[in-house]
Structure 1
Amino acid sequence: MDFDPVVLARIQFAFTITFHIIFPSFTIGLSAWIATLLVVGQRTGDPRYPRLAQFWTKIFAVSFALGVVSGIVLSYQFGTNWSRFSVVVGNVLGPLLGYEVLTAFFLEASFLGIMLFGLGRVPRTLHTASAVIVAIGTAISAFWILSANSWMQTPTGHVMIDGIAHPQDWWAIVFNPSFPYRLAHMLAAAYLTTAFVVLAVGARWILADRHGEEARLMVKMAVGMIAVLAPLQLFIGDQHGLNTLEHQPTKVAAMEAHWERGPADFHIFAWPDQKAETNRFAISIPRAGSMILTHSWDGVVPGLKDVPPEDRPPVPNVFFAFRIMLAIGFAMIFLGLAGAVLWWRGGLFTTGWFLKTVSYTWWFGFVAVIAGWIVAESGRQPWIATGILRTADAASPVPGGSVAATLALFVLVYGVVFSMGIYFINRLLAKGLAGPSGEPPRSGTPLRPQSAAREAGREFLGS
């Protein structure tokens, strides 16, 4: 059987990045949540905040470890499956990824141990400061990773010499045209991802009549974050879309399944037929696409037919992924505003339909992030670095059978490792706020100072 090494290498990278992106998008927001709890707890003296911080630190420890493991695999694939990509753009992307290690990863590694093991062993101020620094480190990591990926989307600040990209202006490279919008969009998505997990857990505790004070605190803080950040994310996404229209018009045309240049309808649903260059079963709002993309009823939107078929991305992938992200985004806005209204009216903790609904929305952020990355990465095709290198020309001269074998191995190993990790996280969430005896204490009872990692390890061994 003949295997296409390029297709298999793309599937392998897509598989590993899908697993990987789940955990950084969660830990970026979770580290900020833990730091906020510790800072507020230290300022107010309220024992609920450090109590919750200790609980969520266990979840962070497992998620962070899974994110590191999956991220290491991705870096190796640059050399094994995409060596030509490394040769052509390595002069630019290599330093950017190196800066991420020298700044963010070293910062996280230096203070992560204090955050995980320092409770009761170091001064409380140092423990809180370590959590804040870890949160800053995760945001810095996102800064460099998004800078590198955005340069691949909208490359600037380089010169091509003998087919190799050489850096010329590092400011232009780091702060390339799409980077500020993509960084803001990703950070907001990460914080929303964590907020919905916290909201779901808090709602389930309230419905189960567990940890009443802490559960209500979690729901209030999560609703406050979502009510502000979800509408803001809509604005950020709009600005990001306008930037994409300017610099990557073909991607926008694929997002909207818009074939002919001119005013664009917004397709609520359609089935893009790439061979026939048309949409099947379209349910559309006339001219709404122009209003969204150009803020004008008669705004002209580039079409997919503006470029040859070989320069078009896979339209169905981009089109449907964008609508999944959009649908979840509007659901987030609705639930955030509904929660804010219920809070204002005093019914946030007693409205059954709201608590039951949000208790099942923990997955919102994760699916939206994955859908967003499908839009970003598939929409860039057939370029791996826009205008510089095509994906088909970036692969290593590796036999397809070898890539297929490693892909099968990845599926097996990831299936086992990540299933265990997610199972362990679920066990920690189900256990709740355990006290010294291992039983859920009354709300407000302070925990005995102990390492979150040690407690999590005992729970894992006991499971």
Structure 2
Amino acid sequence: MEALDSALMAARAQFAITISFHIVLAAFTIGLANFLLVLEALWLKSRREIYLDVYRYWLKVFALNVAVGTASGLILEYQFGLNWSRLAVQAGDILGPLMFYEVLAAFFLEAGFLGIMLFGLKKVGPRLHFFATGAVAMGSLISAFWILSASSWMHTPAGYSMTADGRFLAEDWWAIIFNPSFPYRLTHMILAALLGSATLVAGASAWQLLKTSHNPRARLQLSMALWTVVVLTPVQILVGDLHGEHTLKVQPQKVAAIEGSWTRPPPGAGEPLRLFGWPDMSERRNHWEVAIPRIGSLYLRHDLSGTIAALDEFAPGDIPPVPPVFFAFRLMVGLGLMMFAQGIVSLVLRCRKRLYIARGWLWSCVLMAPAGFVAMISGWTVTEVGRQPFTVYGLLRTADSVSRVSREQVMASTWVILLFYGLVFGIGLWVLMRVLREPPRRGEPGPQPSLPDETGQT
């Protein structure tokens, strides 16, 4: 049993490493693809060269991101087959088709039209090229649709039956795909991808404006990114609240771990907002807790006296690891509030016509560049670690999902993966920093359009 636990923790650690790298690249693909779609639409509508220059600039970053993301995706599939074969056996009849549809979307739409995006503007004409950009953007969203459907089904399984040996069989594909948590998680993830991309674009643009404050293309990038933050951050807060309400219904242990609530408060006392604490799993309490009375009830129950199920009301073997869930949630919320403040400050500076020249503000945007993606990884930690000790919530435990591999095998493959990631991501990051250190310029190198002449021919 000890050997199994050791191999299980090693496999979980390897999965956390591989997914953490890949999820950022996948999210950046979604955000950049839709950013490029908007830029090309604005260029087609206005014929202003500035939009095409910025499009060609970020198209290079998009191509780099897709290349590195493909490599990380292959590693993710490898470790899944190596470490989680028992999950594949038990739930493969449901998860297999969902993953297959994701691969179809990724390769037939994203990969199929990427070549036209990169090299076909002069060959196929602006409108057909715009269709290709739209197909890639749609492919990234469809990929997210199927991945989130599969992941959400593992959180809120529906539409299935089980065999005598514990295998899941599909009975209602509509219920499987649109399982109860799927709408919340899909919306939350898409918004996180767009916001993460926006803060990164804003940070890169701010860095460029610190060196060349009058570059109109860097100003355009910064403006568009900050408008995205302004519009989507309040929406994300609302969606997060709805997602939290639903999680409280279907996974109350997770919410109790998020709140660090070990015992239910007395009737009428309400749930406190625990700003800080150090959850102790062995003593089942928080050390150095700093809390505001009743405020937790306000966002959990939307009143000042409601309570939630506490951790001592569940079987000890069904409680997730509390410290990582507790701290990751606070990091996610803290960064989300900082992004909300970033949007508000940008509106004030925009009104004062200092958005592009206030150096302290630009430095803050540079520092906030990774905030969206760090918040997204923190949210993923809350969601997935908070589901433990189950892979299929309430039905299949993680200990029963891991392959029969030794800890030594898993650790050896983990070191190989880290070496591969260090090489691929190191080169990718070096190239990315070389691209982003200079702002887009007039006549940015890239695919050149073949515009129609007065007769309408190209």
Report the AA paired with residue 446 of structure 1.
Answer: G
AA at the equivalent of 1:133: A
What's the offset of the Cα at 1:451?
7.9
Aligned pair 1:18/2:7, yes or no? no
> How many angstroms apart in 1 are the aligned matches of 2:217 and 2:234?
26
CA shift at 1:207, angstroms? Answer: 1.4
Partner of 2:452: none
Query: In structure 2, what is the Cα distance between the partners aligned to 1:211 and 1:132?
Result: 31
CA distance in 1, matches of 2:80, 2:362: 44
What is the deviation of 1:119?
A: 2.9
Matched, 1:216 2:219: yes
Q: How many residues align?
A: 442
- Separation in 2, partners of 1:265, 1:160: 41
> Paired residue for 2:443, among 443, 446, 450?
446
Q: Distance in 1 between matches of 2:429 and 2:448?
A: 21
For 1:266 and 1:29, the matched residues in 2 are separated by 33
Shift of 1:2: 6.6
- Residue 152 of structure 1: CA displacement? 0.6
Can you list the C-alpha shifts for 1:301-355, whole angstroms capped at 9, x where unaligned?
1111111111110000000000000000000000011101211232212222211
Task: Tell me what 1:190 maps to.
Answer: 193
Which has the larger displacement, 344-353 or 90-99? 344-353
What is the letter of the counterpart of residue 342 of structure 1? L
Indicate yes or no: 2:366 matched with 1:369.
Answer: no
1:446 is displaced (CA, Å) by: 2.8
Moved more, 245-254 or 299-308: 299-308
Q: Are 1:30 and 2:32 counterparts?
A: yes
- 2:345 is the alignment partner of 1:341: no
Instruction: Kindly indicate whether residue 81 of structure 2 is the aligned counterpart of residue 74 of structure 1.
Output: no
Partner residue, 2:117: 115
CA deviations 1:283-304 (Å, max 9, x no partner) are 1111111111110111121111
Q: Distance in 2 between matches of 1:353 and 1:231?
A: 24
Structure 2 distance, partners of 1:312, 1:447, is 54
| Offset from partner CA, 1:26-76 (integer Å, 9 cap, x none) | 111011001110110111011011101101011111111111111122222
Equivalent in 171, 176, 181 of residue 173 of structure 1: 176
Is residue 384–residue 390 contact of structure 1 (8 Å, CA) maintained in 2?
yes
| Structure 1: runs of 5 or more not aligned | 434-440, 453-463
What is the deviation of 1:447?
3.8
Aligned residue among 282, 288, 292 for 2:295: 288
Q: TM-score, normalised by structure 1?
A: 0.92
Please give the per-residue CA displacement for 1:201-240, whole angstroms capped at 9, x wherever unaligned.
2212221116611111111111111111011111110000
Unaligned residue ranges in structure 2 (runs of 5+) = 450-458
Paired position in structure 2 for 1:40: 42
What is the aligned counterpart of 2:357 among 350, 354, 366?
350
Give, in angstroms, the shift of residue 150 of structure 1.
0.5
Alpha carbons 2:199, 2:225 under 8 Å: kept: yes
1:283 aligned counterpart, secondary structure? strand
Does the C-alpha gap of structure 1 residues 256 and 331 become closer, same or farther in structure 2, counting only changes over 3 Å? same
Residue in structure 2 matching 1:317, options 312, 317, 324: 324
> Which string of whole-angstrom CA distances, capped at 9 and with x for unpartnered residues, describes residues 389-423 of structure 1?
10011111112211111111111111111111111
**AA aligned opposite 2:251:** Q
2:453 is matched with none
Aligned to 1:401: 408
Note if contact 1:105-1:141 (Cα within 8 Å) is conserved in structure 2: no
Instruction: State the alpha-carbon separation in 1 of the partners of residues 224 and 444 from structure 2.
Output: 21
Write the letter of the residue equivalent to 1:238: D
CA-atom RMSD in angstroms: 1.7
Which residue is equivalent to 2:155? 153
Q: 1:142 aligns with which of 137, 141, 144?
A: 144
Q: What percent of counterpart residues are identical?
A: 44
